[in-house]
Amino acid sequence: MKLAPEGYPFIALFAAATVIVFFAFGMPPAVVPLCLTIFMLNFFRDPDRNVPRGKGAFTSPADGKVMVIRDVYEGKYLQADVKEIGIFMSPLNVHVNRAPCDGRVKMVKHNKGRFSAAYKDEASVSNENIEMVLATEYGDVLVRQVAGFVARRAVCRKKEGDMLRRGERYGIIKFSSRVDLYIPGNTNIRVKPGEMVKAGETIIGEIED
């Protein structure tokens, strides 16, 4: 099973605790750290994905449930009418984030904030988050990794000037969280609120030539 490298310290910690408790106190007390080790292995799993081909498609940047789909004016970075898609990630989802499309990283910005429940609408801008702008052939695209009540850290592995391919891994958010995606306003949305999506695999929307 492939694992995200950010999970190695957590897995090692609880695996070591399991061994220590087992030899010190026996199996029954060791069940707790063993279960936590299994949880960490499951949480930090990083499966390969079948990334769809073809021009004009935007794939989901995260595993989880679509919470928000709406038309907004994004004035902070894009200065354009865009489609906003918010995806909530529960602790049971894969938390590795993937690029929604091909593009060059124009900007990565870490914003400090609160740690309220990630499914709340206001969490998108009030919570701790990392914003990444991609320059694409269809215009700039914004992806925001939002930390939640349990999650205390988002990780973006890319920096300004890096190139990303659709479906490529670029970061992770630890524990429950959300990802907001802002794509061109003329995108035809292919998902609906409440739908479960997979990072790098589910087509969120398409721009027709």
Domain boundaries 57-206, corresponding CATH code: 2.70.70
pLDDT band at 128 (very low <50, low <70, confident <90, very high): confident
pLDDT band at 173 (very low <50, low <70, confident <90, very high): confident
pLDDT higher than threshold 90 for residue 190: yes
93-103 residue pLDDT tens: 999 999 999 99
**pTM for this predicted structure:** 0.89
Which of the following is catalytic: 60, 124, 176, 177? 177
Q: Produce one character per residue of 46-85: b if its CB has 16 or more CB atoms within 10 Å, e if not.
A: beebebeeeeebbbbbbbbbbbbbeeeebeebbeeebbbb
Q: Say whether 177 is catalytic.
A: yes
